[in-house]
C-alpha cells in the first residue's frame, strides 16, 4: 500500500515537472519569436540607418538576432516535443543545446562588455566621417535621408553634438544657406530652422550614445529575464 502511494506521488511529481518544463519551453519559444521580430523590425524599419554605418554593425546585429531567435525557437519546439513524448534522446539533445545557448550568450555578454567602448568609438568615428564628407553630396541622397531620419527619430544632432557639423561639407557649402546645422537637428523641424543655434531649438543629445545605450539596456533586460527563468 505504501509502495503504491510512493509511486503515485512520484508520478505526480513527474507530471508537475513535465508541465513546468513545458511552460518554460513555451516562454523560451516566445522569447525566440520576439528576438526574430526585433531583427525583422531592425531590417525593415531601420534599414536606412545601415547605409551610413561603414562597418555594417546594425545589419550584422539584425542578422545575428534573426539567427539567434531561430535557434531559440527550434530549441523551444524540440523541448516541447521531448516533454510530450518523454523521449530520452530528444531530452538529451535539448539539454545539450540549452547549455550551448547559455554558454554562447554568456560569451556574447562578456565580449559586449569588453568591447563596448571600442564599438562606440568606431560608430562615432564612422558617423562623424559620414557627416563631414557625404551629407548632401550628389549621389549620396540615401545617406542624407538616412541621417535626417535618424536625427529626427532619436531627437539628436550629430555623433557627439551639434558642433560635429561645423566642418562638414554641407555647412561650408552654398547648399546650407547659412544654416549652422541641418533642419533635421531642430526639435520642431521647419524650413531654415537650422540657422538658429539656440538651446531650445537644437538637440544636443549624443546620437550614438542614445542608440548604444538603448541596445545595452535591452541586453541587460534580456539577461535579467533569463536569470529569472534560470531560477525557475
pLDDT digits over 64-75, tens only? 778 888 888 888
Calpha distance 10→6 (Å, rounded): 6
Cβ-based neighbours of 74, under 8 Å, separated by 6 or more: 32
Least confident stretch, 3-7, 69-73, 121-125, 220-224: 3-7
pLDDT over 90, % of the chain: 4
Q: Could you write out the DSSP letters of every residue in 142-174?
A: HHHHHHHHHHHHHT--SSSSGGGGTT-TTTTSG
Cα within 13 Å of Cα(88), Cβ side:
0
pLDDT for residue 198 is more than 70: no
Residue 212 has a pLDDT of 47
- Cell triple for residue 83? 516533454
Sign (positive/negative) of CA torsion 82, 88, 93, 98? positive
3-state helix, strand, coil in the chain (%, to 5): 75, 0, 25
Calpha distance 42→65 (Å, rounded): 10
Amino acid at each position: 500500500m505504501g509502495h503504491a502511494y510512493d509511486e503515485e506521488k512520484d508520478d505526480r511529481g513527474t507530471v508537475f515537472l513535465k508541465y513546468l518544463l513545458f511552460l518554460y519551453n513555451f516562454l523560451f519559444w516566445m522569447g525566440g519569436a520576439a528576438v526574430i521580430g526585433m531583427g525583422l523590425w531592425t531590417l525593415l524599419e531601420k534599414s536606412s540607418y545601415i547605409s551610413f554605418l561603414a562597418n555594417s554593425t546594425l545589419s550584422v546585429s539584425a542578422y545575428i538576432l534573426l539567427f539567434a531567435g531561430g535557434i531559440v525557437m527550434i530549441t523551444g519546439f524540440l523541448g516541447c516535443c521531448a516533454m510530450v513524448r518523454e523521449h530520452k534522446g530528444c531530452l538529451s539533445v535539448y539539454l545539450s543545446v540549452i547549455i550551448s545557448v547559455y554558454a554562447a550568450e554568456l560569451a556574447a555578454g562578456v565580449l559586449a562588455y569588453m568591447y563596448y567602448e571600442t564599438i562606440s568609438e568606431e560608430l562615432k568615428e564612422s558617423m562623424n566621417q559620414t557627416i563631414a564628407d557625404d551629407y548632401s553630396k550628389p549621389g549620396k541622397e540615401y545617406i542624407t535621408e538616412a541621417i535626417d531620419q535618424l536625427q529626427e527619430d532619436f531627437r539628436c544632432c550629430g555623433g557627439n553634438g551639434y558642433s560635429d557639423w561645423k566642418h562638414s561639407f554641407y555647412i561650408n557649402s552654398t547648399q546650407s544657406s547659412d544654416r549652422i546645422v541641418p533642419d533635421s537637428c531642430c526639435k520642431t523641424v521647419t524650413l531654415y530652422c537650422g540657422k538658429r543655434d539656440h538651446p531650445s531649438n537644437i538637440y544636443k543629445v549624443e546620437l550614438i550614445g542614445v542608440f548604444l545605450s538603448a541596445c545595452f539596456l535591452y541586453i541587460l533586460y534580456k539577461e535579467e529575464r533569463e536569470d529569472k527563468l534560470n531560477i525557475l
